[in-house]
């Protein structure tokens, strides 16, 4: 009686409360869930079979099951199992344990650009906050305190480490939304559902498992994820799940910038980029100087002040959505280059007005934008390099004589640079005839391209010169104003001056932009 009185006053014991939040296991047969096995990745099935043949439980899990239920072909397939990371690694020829906050295994099939990664995670236990180790500060400043610990939270309740293995029922309870907490066995073709995920998927509702405020506090990125899923799937956010979002949005400032950046990229590559931005604005997470996504804030601010800029960015995002819908690859570098282009353009024009030569002015403007808008993310290798190349390629499209066009059209990133040029033309930023010429030039037979360059040279000779325009330098061709060719050294090139030879029959008098 005393125990019942204490429980009534203090609430259910922690263990009982956790059990009530874990749901009840329901196995749904193929006749009810109607998942098309043809949409399931062969390598994901192979991973599940290998684990089950070795005596372990294994299921396709999470977003892949959610997408299969609504008839979509998942982009990625994850597998969950009761095997530990070390046990998983021992079953596959090419498997790698990664992560510190959450240890998982990447099983790799294929090589080169065609390789595929199946992510395998071990069932995790529900975290008992009262038993978790607490550390002060954030993960970055608490590495020594984190060593050797399992469940670790900071003072704000954010989970810093979660590597306690547990049963599947607890693994389901610790996932975020009901539609992401289902497990599919492709061999028996059953879906294991603990929290009514199938029902919510059919109703197109996003519902948080457990107390939403607590779950957002554990991982603030869930605030971004609920927006992404709502935009991608066309789902509504359940009232209790949506209620704490604005109040708890400030927690996103504690998330490492690199992780927030990655989530922004995911938002814009769902195939519903424009819808994602609108959903962010609707939930008070973008625009208005919130600072969660500085790049998106800049785009929204520029779009409000300059409708022509909004037209350019919207065209780029719509093009990204189209490519995703057609199953074509999309490059985050291209999308980001479009979103930040007018920031680069403003700086470029400003420096040219101050007397800087065009290409040095452009490189300085690019560097300034990276420092101001992207920061340390700019060091992410290929992403930053591709963005720079797209931008630095733009003035080269203006030169259509000499050997420059022949060199440019053969570069690896030419197609991305040209697509960027085409968007600029569609937005009215440049003469559409320039984009049309480059499209025809890129599709022409190699032997016909020199003739197209000759035609441009003849047209430029016939064009009347402005009386006030300065005469071109007759004795020199300054190549320092041109971007370096792909693969060239970053070191400054020695300035070469060439005397112009008298034009004779068949001779070329145009400048070369190599």
List, edge to edge, every strand of the sheet that includes 159-161.
133-135, 152-154, 159-161
Please indicate, yes or no, whether residues 147 and 172 belong to a single structural domain of this protein. Answer: no
Strand partners, 133: 152
CA distance readout (Å), 186 to 34, 39, 42: 12, 11, 10
Highest mean pLDDT among 45-59, 128-142, 210-224: 45-59
Check if 455 is active-site. Answer: no
Question: Is the CB of residue 156 less than 8 Å from the CB of residue 217?
Answer: yes
CA distance 1 to 170: 30
Lowest mean pLDDT among 25-29, 121-125, 149-153, 202-206: 149-153
Q: Give the residue ranges of DSSP H helices in 208-355.
A: 212-218, 221-233, 239-242, 245-248, 257-268, 273-282, 294-305, 307-325, 332-353
Check if 128 is active-site. Answer: no
Report pLDDT for 376: 56
CA distance 447 to 429: 31
- Residues of the chain by 3-state class (helix, strand, coil), percent to 5: 55, 10, 35
| Dihedral angle over CA of 111, 112, 114, 119, nearest 10 | 60
Report pLDDT for 127: 65
- Tell me how many domains the chain contains: 3
Mean pLDDT on 492-507: 43
CA distance 188 to 193: 15
Please indicate, yes or no, whether residues 171 and 153 belong to a single structural domain of this protein. Answer: no
DSSP 158: -
Give the SS3 label for residue 163: coil
Token pair 């600029």 is found at 424
pLDDT digits (tens, 9 = 90+) for 430-440: 999 999 999 99
Mean pLDDT on 347-373: 91
Question: Is the CB of residue 88 less than 8 Å from the CB of residue 81?
Answer: yes
Please indicate, yes or no, whether residues 86 and 149 belong to a single structural domain of this protein. Answer: no
Please indicate, yes or no, whether residues 116 and 150 belong to a single structural domain of this protein. Answer: no
CA distance readout (Å), 142 to 20, 99, 164: 33, 17, 19
Please indicate, yes or no, whether residues 341 and 457 belong to a single structural domain of this protein. Answer: yes
Record the pTM. 0.72
Check if 76 is active-site. Answer: yes
Please indicate, yes or no, whether residues 71 and 195 belong to a single structural domain of this protein. Answer: yes
CATH number at residue 179: 3.30.460.10
Which entry of 78, 193, 319, 477 is annotated as an active-site residue?
A: 78
Higher pLDDT, 497 or 296: 296
Average pLDDT, the chain: 81
List, edge to edge, every strand of the sheet that includes 95-98.
26-28, 190-193, 182-185, 58-61, 78-81, 116-122, 104-109, 95-98
Whether the pLDDT of residue 108 is over 80: the answer is: yes
Residue 387 lies in a domain: yes
Please indicate, yes or no, whether residues 348 and 412 belong to a single structural domain of this protein. Answer: yes
Question: Is the CB of residue 9 less than 8 Å from the CB of residue 181?
Answer: no
Please indicate, yes or no, whether residues 17 and 137 belong to a single structural domain of this protein. Answer: no
Whether the pLDDT of residue 22 is over 70: the answer is: no
CB 267: neighbour CB atoms within 10 A? 24
Residue 506 lies in a domain: no
Domain of 87 in residue numbering reads as 1-125+166-203
Residue 318: which of 300, 302, 338 has the closest Cα?
338
Whether the pLDDT of residue 206 is over 90: the answer is: yes
CA distance 253 to 267: 18
Report pLDDT for 365: 94
| Dihedral angle over CA of 284, 289, 291, 293, nearest 10 | 70
The model's confidence at residue 154, banded by pLDDT at 50, 70 and 90, is low
How large is the greatest C-alpha to C-alpha distance in the chain, in angstroms? 111
Those residues whose C-beta lies under 8 Å from the C-beta of residue 236, and which sit 6 or more positions away, are 204, 205, 206, 230
Residue 232 lies in a domain: no
CA distance 24 to 494: 74
Give the SS3 label for residue 137: coil
- Strands 133-135 and 152-154 come out as parallel
Which entry of 41, 162, 171, 176 is annotated as an active-site residue?
A: 176
Question: Is the CB of residue 201 less than 8 Å from the CB of residue 62?
Answer: no
Please indicate, yes or no, whether residues 69 and 39 belong to a single structural domain of this protein. Answer: yes
Residue 496 lies in a domain: no
Please indicate, yes or no, whether residues 108 and 139 belong to a single structural domain of this protein. Answer: no
Whether the pLDDT of residue 459 is over 60: the answer is: yes
CATH number at residue 398: 1.10.3090.10
Final residue of a domain: which of 161, 182, 217? 161
Length of the chain as a residue count: 514
Q: What is the 3-class SS of 73-111, one letter each residue?
A: CCCCCEEEECCCHHHHHCCCCCEEEECCCCCEEEEEECC
Please indicate, yes or no, whether residues 65 and 190 belong to a single structural domain of this protein. Answer: yes
Residue 174 lies in a domain: yes
Residue 178: which of 320, 65, 308 has the closest Cα?
65
């Amino acid at each position: 009686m005393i125990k019942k009185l204490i429980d009534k006053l203090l609430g259910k014991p922690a263990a009982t409360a956790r059990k009530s939040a874990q749901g009840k296991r329901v196995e749904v047969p193929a006749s009810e869930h109607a998942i098309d096995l043809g949409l399931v990745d062969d390598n994901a099935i192979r991973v599940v079979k290998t684990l089950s043949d070795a005596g372990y439980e294994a299921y396709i899990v999470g977003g892949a099951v959610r997408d299969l239920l609504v008839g979509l072909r998942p982009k990625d397939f994850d597998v969950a199992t009761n095997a530990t990371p070390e046990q998983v690694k021992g079953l596959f020829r090419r498997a790698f344990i990664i992560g510190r906050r959450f240890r998982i295994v990447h099983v790799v099939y294929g090589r080169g650009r065609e390789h595929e990664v199946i992510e395998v995670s071990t069932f995790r236990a529900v975290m008992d906050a009262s038993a978790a180790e607490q550390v002060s500060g954030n993960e970055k400043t608490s590495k020594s305190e984190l060593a050797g610990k399992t469940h670790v939270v900071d003072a704000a309740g954010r989970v810093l480490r979660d590597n306690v293995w547990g049963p599947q029922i607890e693994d389901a309870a610790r996932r975020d939304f009901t539609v992401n907490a289902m497990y599919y066995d492709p061999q028996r073709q059953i879906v294991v559902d603990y929290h009514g995920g199938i029902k919510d998927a059919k109703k197109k509702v996003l519902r948080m498992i457990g107390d939403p405020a607590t779950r957002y506090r554990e991982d603030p990125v869930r605030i971004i994820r609920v927006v992404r899923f709502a935009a991608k799937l066309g789902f509504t956010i359940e009232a209790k799940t949506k209620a704490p979002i604005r109040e708890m949005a400030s927690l996103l400032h504690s998330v490492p910038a690199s992780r927030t950046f990655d989530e922004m990229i995911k938002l814009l590559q769902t195939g519903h980029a424009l819808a994602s931005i609108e959903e962010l604005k609707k939930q008070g997470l973008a625009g208005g100087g919130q600072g969660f996504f500085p790049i998106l804030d800049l785009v929204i601010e520029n779009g409000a002040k300059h409708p022509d800029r909004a037209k350019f960015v919207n065209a780029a995002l719509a093009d990204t959505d189209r490519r995703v819908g057609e199953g074509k690859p999309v490059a985050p570098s291209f999308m980001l280059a479009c979103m930040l282009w007018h920031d680069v353009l403003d700086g470029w024009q400003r420096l040219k007005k101050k007397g800087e030569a065009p290409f040095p002015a452009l490189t300085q403007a690019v560097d300034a934008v990276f420092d101001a808008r992207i920061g340390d993310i700019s060091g992410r290798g290929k992403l930053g390099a591709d963005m720079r190349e797209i931008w630095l390629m733009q003035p080269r499209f203006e030169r259509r004589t000499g050997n420059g066009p022949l060199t440019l059209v053969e570069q690896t990133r030419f197609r991305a640079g040209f697509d960027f040029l085409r968007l600029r033309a569609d937005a009215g930023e440049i003469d559409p005839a320039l984009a049309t010429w480059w499209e025809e030039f890129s599709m022409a037979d190699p032997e016909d391209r020199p003739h197209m360059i000759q035609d441009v040279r003849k047209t430029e000779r016939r064009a009347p010169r402005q009386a006030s325009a300065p005469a071109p330098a007759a004795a020199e061709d300054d190549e320092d104003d041109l971007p370096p060719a792909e693969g060239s050294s970053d070191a400054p090139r020695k300035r070469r001056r060439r005397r112009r030879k008298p034009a004779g029959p068949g001779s070329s008098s145009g400048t070369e932009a190599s």
